[in-house]
Structure 1
Amino acid sequence: MYRSLATDADTRELVVPDVLRHQADRRARLRAAGGAVAVALVVGGVMIGGQVVAVPSPKPVPPPAGTPTFPSPPVAPTPDATAVSPSPPAPPTTAGRSPGTTPASPRVTSAAPPRTPTSIPDRAFFALAPANRTGIAPEFRDLDALPGLCGARIPSETVVQRRTRLLIYKLPQNPGAGYVPDGTYAHSITIYRSGRADDVLKELRQAVRDCPVQKRPGGDPPSRSTQRLLADSGYGDESVLFEIRSPGQDVNGDPTGVEDVRLVRAIRIGDVVTILWEQGWENTSSQRAQVDADSRRAVAAIRAWLD
């Protein structure tokens, strides 16, 4: 085996060192080039994959050659939307309400119109203040609700019901029971058909204006009375106040030389009209403060009844 190997080696020519180094350098360059090619292939594959995943937006096509170009006009700034139409403020949240819970819509209710009564109870009439009581109980009678005003007739076809009473009173500064009273009311309450009570007060105002002077019945010779409207407000929905002035007469019809003054006030509360006609007592005149106080009591009693 050794002889065969020696014979085979002697037949082959050894490569000189320079050729051997050249071949080794060549193999090294080939290996470096192959590695660089592999890295380039890897990088190229990554770049191609990224382009497939995120395709860039197409570039605008340039105008054909020879087409003139002009600068674009300036674009006006877009106004802030909140400055043009501001959003409505968020509704306030209610304490204790869960987030996201829609509040219930408020219930819209309309007040029912007041009902027109059909009868008048005793409690609709006011009671005198203790200092004005004489011990004489009020008495319901069929009395005139208003004095005559030159024959004017306030329409009665719209009346639903009317009640009238005679009420005797005294002034607070005078003694109580057993003494002469100071005044008398013909006090009435009338229910009118719905929407007609205000017409009654209009006609009453006009009747007073149309009758500034009239002959007074009775007496020899007959006397005259004068009527005029007085400013009035603050009673019920509306009111009418007027006075009647006439020469005073005693129980025998003889002149006393003193002028008698009578006050009449009509007050409307809805479809109800109450009238206080102060008629005095033995040549006494009406006291405005007393009539005002009793008018307020009359309104309070009717409102309590209607409520």
Structure 2
Amino acid sequence: MSAELSDLYRSLTAVADGQELTHPELVRRRADRRARVRMAGTALAVALLLGGVAAGGRVAFPADGPAPLPPPADTPGPLPSGPAPRPSPSAPPSRSPTPPSPTPPHSTPSATPSAPTTGAATPPQPTSIPDRAFFALAAANQTGLESQVDGPALPVLCTARYPSDSAVVQRRGRYLAYKRPETPPEYVPAGSYRHTITIYRAGRADDALRELRQAVRGCPEQRLPDDTRTWRQRLLDSGRYGDESVLFEMRAPYPEGRGDPGEDEVRLVRAVRIDNVVTVLWEQGWEDTAAERAQVDADSRRAVAAIENWLD
């Protein structure tokens, strides 16, 4: 070893021998204190950094402006310390659909369902014919000659039969004579009616009129018992009477020496249905007179009105 190196070691030894060594426990406390100082400085730096970020966020995004974007879901970050951001106007808050209510809030369901509204009650089916169901002649046509009669409601029409007769509930008839208004009281009547009213079972009265039409069409000509003349039958336009009606005529030449020469004896028969009731006005004349359509029409209207008043 050189002399210079030996002198250097002796100098270092002399210096070291003059210094007092620090106790190991003191060295540990100093190291812990330095570590705590470093950790406090780091925490302070982090707090300052967070405060600056929050302040910058408030400056960049005012309270009434759009909210800052949240951090990604997989990146942890500090919770914001300011007020909760308002929702963006362009994205309205979603609302959970409200299920429809089965009953309106203003109504209260009834435990018992209300009965359906119906119209006027149907009048009961008549079973008997009162006297007031027969019409009265106009005062100027009255003769005072009236009586109850039985027998058929219609004249013979060849061999016609009426199956609806099996559905008859009741039938009543009467005979009455009429005069013209200008005929003096002491003169004979101008004509007469066989007037009948028949009640049929429900739904069968229209059968009676259908069968009558068929009977007239099926008997255009015939000879009646004890009469040598040929009678001709045909349907006429009945007009509007009741629910439906049938009008036909029977026509034959007057017998020799009776009536006006070249003229025909004419009988008119009208059947009118009102619901399940049929009224028949059969004009039968008086001593070689002929039926007049105007008189039969007027009395037919009276007969219909009387039955309608009875049924109401």
Q: 1:303 and 1:44 mapped to 2: Cα distance?
A: 100
* 1:145 match: 153
Q: 1:197 and 1:57 mapped to 2: Cα distance?
A: 91
> Is 1:224 paired with 2:230?
yes
Which consecutive residues of structure 2, in runs of 5 or more, have no partner in the other structure?
1-47, 73-105, 109-113
Tell me how far 1:116 sits from its aligned partner: 1.8
Identity, % of aligned positions: 58
Tell me how far 1:56 sits from its aligned partner: 4.7
TM-score for the superposition, normalised by structure 2: 0.63
> Does the aligned pair in 2 maintain the 1:134–1:178 contact within 8 Å?
no
Task: Output one character per residue of 1:110-133: Cα deviation in whole Å (capped at 9) or x when no partner.
Answer: 343443210000000111001101
> Is 1:212 paired with 2:220?
yes
Which structure would you say has the larger Rg? 2
Tell me how far 1:231 sits from its aligned partner: 1.1
DSSP 3-state at the match of 1:140: strand
Q: 2:126 aligns with which of 117, 123, 138?
A: 117
Change (3 A) 1:53 1:202: same
Between the two proteins, the alignment pairs up a number of residues equal to 222
Q: Which stretch of structure 1 is more off in the superposition, 264-273 or 109-118?
A: 109-118
Q: 1:233 aligns with which of 239, 242, 263?
A: 239
Change (3 A) 1:57 1:201: farther
Tell me how far 1:135 sits from its aligned partner: 2.8
Change (3 A) 1:56 1:179: farther
* 1:47 match: 58
Q: Which stretch of structure 1 is more off in the superposition, 115-124 or 275-284?
A: 115-124
Task: Output one character per residue of 1:227-267: Cα deviation in whole Å (capped at 9) or x when no partner.
Answer: 000012210000000000012238xx968643100000000
TM-score for the superposition, normalised by structure 1: 0.64
> Does the aligned pair in 2 maintain the 1:247–1:256 contact within 8 Å?
no
DSSP 3-state at the match of 1:135: strand
DSSP 3-state at the match of 2:254: strand
> Does the aligned pair in 1 maintain the 2:168–2:198 contact within 8 Å?
yes
Q: 1:59 and 1:183 mapped to 2: Cα distance?
A: 116
Q: 1:159 and 1:200 mapped to 2: Cα distance?
A: 10
* 1:129 match: 138
* 2:309 match: 304
Q: 1:178 aligns with which of 186, 199, 204?
A: 186
Q: 1:244 aligns with which of 250, 259, 268?
A: 250
* 1:203 match: 211
> Does the aligned pair in 2 maintain the 1:159–1:191 contact within 8 Å?
yes
Letter in 1 for 2:291: S
DSSP 3-state at the match of 1:191: strand
> Does the aligned pair in 2 maintain the 1:230–1:241 contact within 8 Å?
yes
* 2:177 match: 168
Q: 1:145 and 1:273 mapped to 2: Cα distance?
A: 10
Q: 1:259 aligns with which of 237, 261, 264?
A: 264
RMSD (Å) for aligned C-alpha atoms: 3.5
DSSP 3-state at the match of 2:144: coil
Which consecutive residues of structure 1, in runs of 5 or more, have no partner in the other structure?
1-36, 61-99
DSSP 3-state at the match of 1:275: strand
Q: 1:165 and 1:46 mapped to 2: Cα distance?
A: 115
Change (3 A) 1:212 1:45: same
Tell me how far 1:139 sits from its aligned partner: 1.0
Letter in 2 for 1:238: E
Q: Which stretch of structure 1 is more off in the superposition, 45-54 or 150-159?
A: 45-54
Letter in 1 for 2:281: L
> Does the aligned pair in 1 maintain the 2:195–2:281 contact within 8 Å?
yes
Change (3 A) 1:56 1:281: farther
DSSP 3-state at the match of 1:249: coil
> Does the aligned pair in 2 maintain the 1:160–1:190 contact within 8 Å?
yes
DSSP 3-state at the match of 2:299: helix
Q: 1:259 and 1:134 mapped to 2: Cα distance?
A: 25
Q: 1:59 and 1:237 mapped to 2: Cα distance?
A: 90
Change (3 A) 1:55 1:210: same
Letter in 1 for 2:132: R
Change (3 A) 1:216 1:57: farther
Letter in 2 for 1:189: I
